[in-house]
Amino acid sequence: MAVYTALQLVEVLVASAIVLFGVLARSPSVTLLGAGYLIGKAILNILVPEGGSVYRRSLIGYAFAAVYLAVALILVHFNG
């Protein structure tokens, strides 16, 4: 297994643990943080066929995840 692949698997496990912790602790903000990280990671990998550097794909993926997280936290705040 390539080092890059192993690193991605570890990152997904950490993000999944954050989501699980947030759910078990009944903390929407922690759950959304983990979910946003998983969304960023997914977009980073979805963009592989498009080409470009890992840096470029990371900026796009994690920027989208940051927007998602901000909107979701605003919705959680005003929902109760």
Q: What is the mean pLDDT of the chain?
A: 93
Residue type, 71: V
pLDDT value at position 10?
94
What's the pTM value of the predicted model, to 2 decimals?
Answer: 0.84
Q: Is the pLDDT of residue 38 over 80?
A: yes
- Each residue's pLDDT tens digit, 54-72: 899 999 999 999 999 999 9
pLDDT (0 to 100) of residue 4: 84
Alpha-helix residue ranges (DSSP H) falling in the chain:
3-24, 28-46, 54-79
